[in-house]
Structure 1
């Protein structure tokens, strides 16, 4: 049964954003490339205050994101309670000097290129379910 009243958006603190970001294994990286905006789901890890992922050196992600500004988003949505949260990292994507072993890629094939997103900003919001406002 879905709620009849809308919930409320609450801004997350920077620490809450990092906590939520580190709690999920998959996010979406977005960038503006030569053919328009692209958004790709990737598995990732949080390491030393940055988002790290691994890809093939020949992938579109590697060709178009390295040394460019990107967005990285992770979220959780509960369709029953109409609640959830979303975290957005905006920053520059660079090659890792030494590709870490994290995260372990979920897809087949060599994923030898480590990418690192250094946050310029991190922000997030939580949608509280309507029932939480009555408490």
Structure 2
């Protein structure tokens, strides 16, 4: 059955299942794109980026002069608090998953680590992306959106 505009009618209720952090990170690592959320001029800012998981950290590439680079370079202590979100939710069925990571972002400054990050992750835009940011997850949450049934059933 479909709506008048051709979209399928969603059958039955959906259920939300909380994921443990290991499964959430595994799912995040299975997709190439996500969104980084950071503070710019005291306001939340969201940027779409590509990423790779590296030894439990999220690594993204960026360019010199990017707002996030200036934020992380001026940070004292463990880094700048950021959120990182990735998902795979089917636009027709509304089934899938979403993961949010909150942690500390720091620029990759060690030349060997920076070269390794550059080799691991190719930029997805045509701009020179010569910098890398490493996000160390502190809080990892995720949900799985499934069709009907009772909570706890898989």
Same fold (TM over 0.5): yes
Q: Which runs of 4+ in 1 moved over 4 A?
A: none
Q: Which has the larger radius of gyration?
A: 2
**Residue 80 (structure 1) aligned with residue 92 (structure 2):** yes
Q: Is the 8 A contact 1:31 1:65 kept in 2?
A: no
Q: In the alignment, what sits opposite 1:91? A: 103
1:120 maps to 2:132: no
Gaps of 5+ in 2: 1-7, 74-78
Tell me if 1:8 matches 2:20: no
**Please, what TM-score do these two structures have when normalized by structure 1?**
0.90
CA contact (8 A) 2:89 2:97 kept: yes
Partner of 1:70: 82
In angstroms, what is the RMSD of aligned CA positions? 1.7
1:5 Cα deviation from its structure 2 partner? 2.8
Q: Give ranges in structure 1 of 5+ residues lacking alignment.
A: none
State the alpha-carbon separation in 2 of the partners of residues 68 and 85 from structure 1. 26
- Aligned length in residues: 133
Normalised to the residue count of structure 2, the TM-score between the two structures is: 0.79
What displacement does 1:77 show? Answer: 1.0
